[in-house]
Amino acid sequence: MDRTFVMIKPDGVQRGLVGEIVSRFEAKGLKLAGAKIEILPEERVIEQYREHLEKPFFPGLKTYIMSGPCFLMAWEGKGAVAVARRMIGATNPAEAAPGSIRGDFALDIGRNVIHGSDSPESAARELGIHFPPGELLEYSKIDEPVLYE
Ligand code: IDP
Ligand code: MG
């Protein structure tokens, strides 16, 4: 099964959106393999966003991500990476489709509530940054026989 890394950013945590967002992924049928609330240290923010280090928005992005607790999750299921990205919506919430998380809960590209890995390779890399070996669980869930063909 595919796994993806999803993180509710500090604005989402402060705005009380953790339960709503977890609910959406659960209702979709994805399985939670790991979750924790954490204030990220600088090294892990830099690792997470290494492709953006030279971008003009990076200093602001780093300050934003470290401004308070994030809620980190590993979600598992068929096509989990692409499915989660679609549920999260476009990077700029002003353009994100209604029904997506960013489309429903945000307005500003610099405060877009949530992160999701953009490919299976990024997912493996990002899960490795934030969840040490052994922290992600493997278990069966009672809905699996009716969820999948
Ligand atoms: P993504 O989160 O949809 O994958 P990326 O282009 O990878 O989008 O950008 C990573 C994060 O950097 C965004 O989610 C957003 O928080 C921030 N970001 C991207 N572009 C801008 C910008 O133009 N201004 C401010 N923040 C930005
Ligand atoms: Mg990205």
Q: Tokens standing for 10?
A: 């500090």
- The predicted structure's pLDDT at residue 54: 98
- Mean pLDDT to the nearest integer, 4-33: 98
Residue type, 105: F
Q: What is the pLDDT of residues 71-120, one digit of tens each?
A: 999 999 999 999 999 999 999 999 999 999 999 999 999 999 999 999 99
- Mean pLDDT to the nearest integer, 126-140: 97
| Portion of the chain with pLDDT greater than 70, in percent | 100
CA separation for the pair 131, 67 (Å, rounded): 21
Measured from the alpha carbon of residue 89, the closest ligand is 1
Q: Break the chain into its structural domains and give their ranges.
A: 2-133
Q: Tokens standing for 47?
A: 């690792």
- Mean pLDDT to the nearest integer, 50-79: 98
Ligand 2 center to 127 CA (angstroms): 14
Q: Tokens standing for 41?
A: 């240290």
For all residues of the chain together, what is the average pLDDT? 98
Packed helices 18-28 and 80-88: angle between N→C axes, nearest 10 degrees: 140
- Per-residue confidence band for 144, with pLDDT thresholds at 50, 70 and 90: very high
Residues 6+ apart with CB under 8 A from 129: 44, 47, 48
Hey, what CATH topology would domain 2-133 get? Answer: Alpha-Beta Plaits (3.30.70)
- Per-residue confidence band for 56, with pLDDT thresholds at 50, 70 and 90: very high
Q: Tokens standing for 54?
A: 């030279």
Residue 48: CB within 6 Å of ligand 1?
Answer: no
Residue 110: CB within 6 Å of ligand 1?
Answer: yes
Residue 57: CB within 6 Å of ligand 1?
Answer: yes
Q: Give nearest CA residue, ligand 1 atom 12.
A: 61
